[in-house]
Structure 1
Amino acid sequence: MEHLQTQGISMPKLGLGTFRMQGDICRAAVESALSIGYRHIDTAEMYANEDSIGSAIAVSRVPRGELHVTTKVWHENLAPEAIRRAFDASLNKLRLDHVDLYLMHWPSRAANWGAVFETLMKLKEEGRTRAIGVANFTTALLKTAVEDIKAPIACNQIEYHAMLDQSKVLAYLNAKSIPLVAYCPLAQGRFATDPVLSEIGVKHNATAAQVALKWLLDQNGVAAIPKASRRESQKANLDALKITLDDADRNKIAALPEDIRCVNPGFAPAWD
Structure 2
Amino acid sequence: MSALDLHRLGLGTWQNDDPDQCAASVRTALELGYRNIDTAQGYDNEEDVGRGIAEADVPREEVFLATKVDTDSLAHDDVLDSTAESLDKLGTDYVDLLYVHWPTNTYDAEGTLSAFDELYDQGKIRHVGVSNFEPRHLDEAREILEAPLFANQVEMHPYLQQTELREYAADHGHHVVAYSPLARTKVLDDPVLEDVAEKHDATIPQVTLAWFLALDNVTAIPKATSEEHIRANWGAYDVDLDEEDLDRIAELDRGHREVDFEGAPWNQ
Structures share a fold, TM > 0.5?
A: yes
Change (3 A) 1:271 1:249: farther
Partner residue of 1:192?
A: 188
Partner of 1:248: 244
Return the letter of the residue paired with 1:20.
Q
Partner of 1:18: 13
Moved more, 102-111 or 59-68: 102-111
- The 5 Å alignment of 1:1-272 reads 5=2, 12-22=7-17, 23-108=19-104, 111-147=107-143, 149=145, 151-270=147-266
Question: Could you say if the C-alpha distance between residues 172 and 246 of structure 1 is closer, same or farther in structure 2, counting changes exceeding 3 Å?
Answer: same
Amino acid at match of 2:30: L
Rounded Cα–Cα distance in structure 2 between residues aligned with 1:173 and 1:127: 24
SS in 2 for 1:88: helix
Given residue 173 of structure 1, which amino acid in structure 2 is its aligned partner?
A
Deviates more, 1:258-267 or 1:199-208: 258-267
For residues 3-33 of structure 1, the C-alpha deviation after alignment (integer angstroms, 9 at most, x for no partner) is x616xx7651110000000211111111111
Q: Which amino acid aligns with 1:15?
A: G
10 and 131 in structure 1: CA distance in 2 versus 1, 3 angstrom threshold: farther
Compared with structure 1, are the counterparts of its residues 62 and 73 closer, same or farther at alpha carbon in structure 2 (3 Å cutoff)? same
Q: Deviations over 1:233-262 (max 9, x none)?
A: 111111111111111111111221422211
Instruction: Measure, in 2, the Cα distance between the counterparts of 1:51 and 1:151.
Output: 27
Worse-matched range after superposition: 140-149 or 83-92: 140-149
- For 1:47, give the aligned amino acid: Y
CA contact 1:11–1:68 (8 Å) conserved in 2: no
Give the Cα separation in 1 of the matches to 2:161 and 2:223: 21
Q: In structure 2, how many angstroms separate the alpha carbons of the residues matched to 1:199 and 1:63?
A: 40
- Amino acid corresponding to residue 160 of structure 1 in structure 2: M
Aligned letter for 2:166?
L
- Say if 1:138 and 1:271, in contact at 8 Å, map to a contact too: no
State the shift of 1:271 in Å: 5.4
CA distance in 1, matches of 2:184, 2:21: 18
Q: SS of the residue aligned with 2:124?
A: coil
TM-score by length of 1: 0.93
Provide the alpha-carbon RMSD of the alignment: 1.7
Structure 2 CA distance for aligned equivalents of residues 61 and 235 of structure 1: 17
Mapped to 1, the partners of 2:104 and 2:32 lie a distance apart of 37
User: 1:165: Cα distance to partner?
Assistant: 3.4
Distance 2:261 2:53 in 1: 31
Aligned residue-pair number: 267
How much identity, in percent, do the aligned residues show? 38
Query: Does the CA contact (< 8 Å) of 1:184 and 1:225 recur in 2?
Result: yes
TM-score (norm 2): 0.95
Give the Cα–Cα distance (whole angstroms) in 1 for the partners of residues 198 and 170 of structure 2: 32
